[in-house]
Amino acid sequence: EIVLTQSPGTLSLSPGDRATLSCRASQSVSSSYLAWYQQKPGQAPRLLIYGASSRASGIPDRFSGSGSGTDFTLTISRLEPEDFALYYCQQYGSSPTWTFGQGTKVEIK
Amino acid sequence: QVQLQESGPGLVKPSETLSLTCTVSGGSINSGSYYWSWIRQPAGKGLEWTGRINTSGSTNYNPSLKSRVTISVDTSKNQFSLRLSSVTAADTAVYYCARDKSGYSGNDSMDVYYMDVWGKGTTVTVSS
């Protein structure tokens, strides 16, 4: 089973800052299988990025994804107040199964 | 646009069976080549995929829960359901249903893997 490890656990930044979130897989993952989600308190997750770098419908272009193999990154170019939230990476694995990282919280500094 | 809504008891006794239903509205559960997944999230913790089903009845389950989970689909009602047996306090969580795309997308002209539509979630507490 592939384990996804997200870092840092918490990112303290100010509006307008650039946020860089990491997702590391315990084994190589096809880029097609890697997605990112945003979750706000009391809400369901929202799909941001799929295929490691494709933005989902309606997602602002300040969100971008990159990476391959075992290292993937979600970047928010300029943080807006509504971007302070939890972010999860997710991968589609063999069997088939879905697994999530433990999450990164982006909080206001 | 497709929307999902979870429903079911908010309180289940230990050792009993948790049963939840997800109703698909705004479109047919048969439209497109989708799976329909259940994901849960204990309070203050991360997301855990429980299992999924397609409209042909093909299922996949989280190996850690496989012995206790059954997911079924009722296309006539545009619903799919989760049953989790022999529950304990560790099964207390918010349970989400989601539309699961795993395979070829005509829109993207490639294979895609994501969950793009989620229900709002329902809280299930296991307690006597």
State the sign of the Cα–Cα–Cα–Cα dihedral A99, A76, B102, B19. Answer: positive
pLDDT tens for A83-95 read 999 999 999 988 8
Across the range A46-57, mean pLDDT stands at 97
Task: Report the C-alpha gap between B113 and A18 in whole angstroms.
Answer: 27
Which class for B27: exposed (0-12), middle (13-18), buried (19 or more C-beta within 10 A)? Answer: middle
pLDDT tens for B9-47 read 999 999 999 999 999 999 999 988 899 999 999 999 999
Quote the pLDDT of residue A1. Answer: 86
For residue B61, the chain A residue with the least C-alpha distance is: A97
Instruction: Please judge whether B46 and A101 are an interchain contact, meaning their C-beta atoms are less than 8 angstroms apart.
Output: yes
Across the range B68-82, mean pLDDT stands at 97
B128 SS3 class:
coil
| Residues ≥6 apart with Cβ < 8 Å to A69 | A25, A28, A29
What is the residue whose two structure tokens read 């709002």?
A: B120
Q: Is the pLDDT of residue B108 over 90?
A: no
How far is C-alpha B98 from the chain's CA centre? 6
Q: Is A48 left (phi over 0), alpha (psi -120 to 50) or beta?
A: alpha
In the predicted model, what is the mean pLDDT of chain A? 97
- Within 8 A of B121 by CB-CB distance, chain A residues are 44
For A100, which of B47, B110, B121 is closest by C-beta distance?
B47
**∠ Cα B23 B25 B26 (to 5°):** 165
CB A75 within 8 A of CB A65: yes
State how far residue A42 is from chain B, nearest Cα, in angstroms.
Answer: 9
Across the range A24-31, mean pLDDT stands at 96
b/e for A82-104, b at 16 or more Cβ within 10 A?
Answer: ebbbbbbbbbbbeeebbbbbebb
Across the range B110-115, mean pLDDT stands at 92
State how far residue A68 is from chain B, nearest Cα, in angstroms.
Answer: 15
What is the residue whose two structure tokens read 């855990």?
A: B48
Determine which of A98, A99, A102 to mutate to test the interface with B (most B C-beta atoms within 10 Å): A98
pLDDT tens for B49-62 read 999 999 999 999 99
Task: Report the C-alpha gap between B103 and A49 in whole angstroms.
Answer: 16
Quote the pLDDT of residue B93. Answer: 98
